[in-house]
């Protein structure tokens, strides 16, 4: 795992030249400051939404080239190919079937930007094909699929970065450093909230014919067969259990991961207390929840989660955020700022810590992508490997399962990968794939 791509290609250079490998490297790389042996060719699976934004961050790095793009919607695929041609001067191959893309030999890494229910198949197949992977969060749409993906990355010895980019951002990494250095004293509790209008679901729509150019059966993939409805498709699929987990698995994974990161010994939750419901009076088309309150008791400290879809206000005048509450002060953080609010020392008549405020942060996708590319070249572990993504996903999936089965208290045994107190919950750990798709199995040993 420590050998660089440069060394690997140097060792196999004569063979590679013999089969014409270097003839398919884009011509622009020869004028680049990055050696041809350290060029990284990436491909994108799922290019309608955020996946394409992540591709842009890749292409903004020197020595990174896009050689292929895949989507089941020809309309989206055609538009994205043109954008790469026009904006980056590259000409990636177009695919509607990800399996054919993975057969393309010059691809080093794959960006998985597909809906959550596809993550497991896309990631495992990419690892099996010898590609490194950047996969959007949550790691997968179920607990069982997360386990399989962790096994796949280990078995195939691939670099896998989960798109929990807050781990690369200063407005969260600095508070974590402050907590670990004892600047706010003992951490007693972490309050997390997420309030967004879109979390209440989409405006109802009738089922309709499949749009021209869309392979809807392929889009469904391992999920159950359903009639086409635009609210189950582009943009709002995450409000349906077959494909996503609502606001909880969208923002919850990001923010709850910060609570996990603050632990001295990060771990999956063992006890989860959940209230989950739909309380908005707006008529919406959804299966997931718009309102949740969740407690995660731990020996170190308790994490508390609150969520309201259809609401944009929140504590500290923030629609979302994390409050790390320590004995000496509280750090309130979001993606662009953090503030240290000191506790008052009555005896000394002074704050227990010096107040701080930082407001110049920005989204950290670019830093997260750079970490991934650096790790492809060095073969070092990225900042958010699948093991980390798996734990964060459990903090979202377990409360969702609790709400779905109407059992507010769930005990999770992470060593056995099952719930201790609920057969109904255990039945939702791993999905049943629709034929002909099969749940991946990773070889042992």
Q: On the CB side of 215, how many CA atoms lie within 13 Å of its CA?
A: 13
Query: Within this chain, do residues 303 and 253 fall inside the same structural domain, yes or no?
Result: yes
Which CATH number covers residue 179?
3.30.360.10
> Which backbone phi and psi does 302 adopt, to 5 degrees?
-100, 140
Query: Within this chain, do residues 258 and 147 fall inside the same structural domain, yes or no?
Result: no
Q: What is the pLDDT of residue 370?
A: 98
Task: Name the domain count of the chain.
Answer: 2
- pTM summary value: 0.91
pLDDT category at 415 given cuts 50, 70, 90 is very high
> Which backbone phi and psi does 387 adopt, to 5 degrees?
-60, -40
Q: CA–CA separation, 324 vs 260, rounded Å?
A: 11
Query: Within this chain, do residues 158 and 20 fall inside the same structural domain, yes or no?
Result: yes
Q: Mean pLDDT, the chain, as a whole number?
A: 93
Q: What is the pLDDT of residues 218-265, one digit of tens each?
A: 999 999 999 999 999 998 999 999 999 999 999 999 999 999 999 999
Q: CA–CA separation, 67 vs 368, rounded Å?
A: 21
Q: CA–CA separation, 311 vs 282, rounded Å?
A: 11
String of b and e for 360-376 (b: at least 16 CB within 10 Å)?
A: ebeebbbbbbbbbbebb
The answer as to whether 203 is a domain residue is yes
Query: Within this chain, do residues 260 and 121 fall inside the same structural domain, yes or no?
Result: no
Query: Within this chain, do residues 323 and 376 fall inside the same structural domain, yes or no?
Result: no
- What whole-number percentage of the chain has pLDDT above 70? 93
Domain that holds residue 408: 175-359+392-426
Q: What is the pLDDT of residues 63-96, one digit of tens each?
A: 999 999 999 999 999 999 999 999 999 999 999 9
The answer as to whether 59 is a domain residue is yes
Query: Within this chain, do residues 218 and 329 fall inside the same structural domain, yes or no?
Result: yes
The answer as to whether 262 is a domain residue is yes
Q: Are 203 and 316 contacting, i.e. CB atoms less than 8 angstroms apart? A: no
Query: Within this chain, do residues 190 and 319 fall inside the same structural domain, yes or no?
Result: yes
Q: What is the pLDDT of residue 31?
A: 47
**How remote is the C-alpha of 363 from its chain's centroid?**
15
* CA–CA distances in Å: residue 434 to residues 140, 315, 338, 352: 17, 43, 45, 58
Which CATH number covers residue 96?
3.40.50.720
Query: Within this chain, do residues 225 and 345 fall inside the same structural domain, yes or no?
Result: yes
Q: What is the pLDDT of residue 24?
A: 40
Query: For residue 5, is pLDDT > 80?
Result: no
């Amino acid at each position: 795992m420590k050998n660089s791509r440069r060394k690997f290609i140097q060792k196999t250079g004569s063979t590679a030249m013999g089969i014409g490998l270097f003839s398919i490297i884009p011509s622009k790389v020869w004028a680049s400051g990055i050696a041809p042996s350290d060029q990284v060719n990436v491909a994108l699976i799922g290019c309608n939404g955020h996946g394409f934004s992540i591709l842009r961050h890749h292409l903004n790095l020197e020595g990174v080239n896009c050689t292929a793009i895949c989507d089941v919607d020809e309309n989206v695929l055609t538009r994205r190919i043109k954008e790469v041609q026009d904006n980056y001067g590259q000409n990636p191959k177009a695919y509607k079937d990800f399996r054919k893309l993975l057969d393309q030999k010059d691809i080093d890494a794959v960006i998985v930007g597909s809906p959550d229910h596809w993550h497991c198949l896309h990631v495992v197949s990419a690892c099996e094909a010898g590609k490194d992977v950047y996969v959007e969060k949550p790691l997968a749409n179920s607990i069982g699929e997360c386990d399989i993906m962790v096994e796949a990355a280990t078995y195939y010895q691939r670099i896998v970065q989960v798109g929990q980019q807050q781990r690369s951002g200063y407005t969260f990494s600095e508070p974590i450093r402050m907590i670990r250095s004892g600047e706010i004293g003992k951490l007693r509790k972490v309050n997390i909230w997420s309030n967004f209008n879109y979390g209440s679901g989409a405006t109802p729509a009738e089922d309709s014919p499949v749009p021209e150019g869309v392979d809807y059966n392929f889009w469904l993939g391992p999920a159950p067969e359903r009639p086409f409805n635009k609210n189950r498709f582009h943009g709002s699929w995450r409000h349906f259990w077959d494909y996503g987990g609502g606001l909880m698995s969208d923002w919850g994974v990001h923010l709850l991961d910060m609570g996990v990161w603050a632990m001295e010994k990060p771990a999956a939750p063992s006890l989860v207390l959940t209230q989950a419901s739909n309380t908005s009076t707006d008529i919406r088309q959804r299966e997931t929840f718009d309102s949740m309150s969740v407690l995660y008791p731990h020996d170190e400290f308790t994490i508390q989660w609150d969520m309201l879809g259809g609401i944009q206000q929140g504590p500290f005048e923030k629609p979302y955020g994390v409050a790390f509450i320590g004995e000496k002060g509280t750090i309130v953080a979001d993606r662009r700022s953090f503030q240290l609010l000191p506790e008052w020392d009555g005896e000394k008549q002074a704050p227990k810590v010096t107040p701080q405020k930082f407001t110049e942060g920005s989204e950290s996708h670019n830093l997260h992508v750079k970490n991934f590319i650096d790790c492809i070249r060095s073969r070092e572990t990225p900042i958010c490997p699948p093991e980390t993504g798996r734990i964060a996903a459990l903090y979202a999936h377990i409360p969702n399962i609790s709400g779905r089965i109407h059992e507010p208290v769930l005990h999770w045994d992470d060593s056995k990968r099952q719930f201790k107190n609920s057969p109904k919950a255990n039945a939702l750990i791993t999905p049943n794939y629709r034929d002909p798709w099969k749940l991946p199995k990773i070889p042992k040993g």
